[in-house]
Amino acid sequence: MNVMRYILVAGALALCSLPRLASAEAFITVASTTSTEQSGLFGHILPIFKDRTGIEVRVIAQGTGQALDTGRRGDADVVFVHAKAAEEEFVKEGSGIGRREVMYNDFVIVGPGDDPAGIKGGKDAVAALKKISASNAAFASRGDDSGTHKAELALWKQAGINPSGDWYRELGAGMGPTLNTSAQMPAYTLTDRATWLSFDNKGPLEVVVEGDAKLFNQYGVILVNPGKHSHVKAEQGRAFIDWLISKDGQNAIAEYKINGQQLFFPNAAETQ
C-alpha cells in the first residue's frame, strides 16, 4: 500500500524532527510547592546556587501532595515541600532518602475586613475556626491535598469539627487561585504568609489571625531514592540539599524579603 507507506514514512520523519533540546549543562529537577516558587524565593536563591556550583535547578511548582507523587514516580530528583508527616511517610516507604529540614514560615488566617465571624486580632487558630463554623461564615478550603490543605484539616480536627455545609467551600485549587476566589466571595481562608505577602489581588481580605504556634509551617527537602529510580541525579541533588542547609544557602534564604518583610526563616542548624 503506497499510502500506508507514505504515512509511515511521514510519521517516522515527524518523530525524528522532534527537537533534541537536551542541554549540555548540568541540571536537576526539583518538585516543590507553589509557595516557594510564587513568592519569588526560588527566583532569588537559585541563581546564587547556580553561580556557586554551575548546576541549574528546574522547579516544578505543585501542591505538596502532588510534588511528593512526582518524586514517587521518579520524575524529579529532589522534593522540597512542607508537610512533615507526609514527608516522613515518603522516606519510610523508600521513595526518598535523607530528609533535612530547611526553613519555616507560618500560616495566617485571612478574611474579609468586616469580619463576620468576629475573629480579628485573635491568636488562637483553633478557636477562630470554631467561631467561623458556628457563625456559618464562608470559609474557602484549598481541597487539593497540598501542605496548606493538610495543615488546615489538622486544625479542624483539633477544633473537633468535621467541616461541611454551604459555608465550607472546597475549591480544589492552588494557593493563588484560592486567594483570588476568597477575595471575591469573600471568605476566610488559610494561607502561608509568603504567598500572602507576594499576592497582588487582596481585595477586602486582610490577616485576621496570626502568631499561633499551631500555624508554624516547616519546609523539608528530600532526595528521591536513587536506589529506586536509577536515573536520579543523586550527586547533584545532594549538592543542592547540602547547599540549602549550609551557611551560604541559609543566608540566601534569610535575605529574601518583600517590602522589607522576611518571608522564610532558615532553621536547618536547629533541627538537625
Is 38 a residue that touches another protein (CB under 8 A)?
Answer: yes
- Of the candidate residues 59, 171, 197, 253, the single one contacting another protein (CB under 8 A): 59
Nearer to another protein, 168 or 199 (CB): 199
Distance CA 263, CA 272 (A): 22
Is 258 a residue that touches another protein (CB under 8 A)?
Answer: no
Helical segments of the chain, H only: 2-16, 34-38, 41-53, 64-72, 84-92, 125-134, 147-159, 175-184, 193-198, 234-245, 247-254, 268-271
Q: Write a three-state SS string for 119-181.
A: CCCECCHHHHHHHHHHCCCCEEECCCCCHHHHHHHHHHHHHCCCCCCCCEEECCCCHHHHHHH
- Of the candidate residues 24, 85, 114, 231, the single one contacting another protein (CB under 8 A): 231
Is 81 a residue that touches another protein (CB under 8 A)?
Answer: no
Is 74 a residue that touches another protein (CB under 8 A)?
Answer: yes
Is 80 a residue that touches another protein (CB under 8 A)?
Answer: no
Distance CA 189, CA 23 (A): 42
Nearer to another protein, 63 or 163 (CB): 63
Nearer to another protein, 118 or 177 (CB): 177
Rounded least distance, CB 1 to another protein, Å: 8
Q: Are 264 and 41 in contact (CB under 8 A)?
A: yes
Distance CA 218, CA 234 (A): 24
Is 260 a residue that touches another protein (CB under 8 A)?
Answer: no
Is 58 a residue that touches another protein (CB under 8 A)?
Answer: yes
- List residues near another protein by CB under 8 A: 2-3, 6-7, 10-11, 13-14, 17-22, 29, 34, 37-38, 42-43, 58-61, 73-75, 174-177, 179-180, 198-202, 229, 231
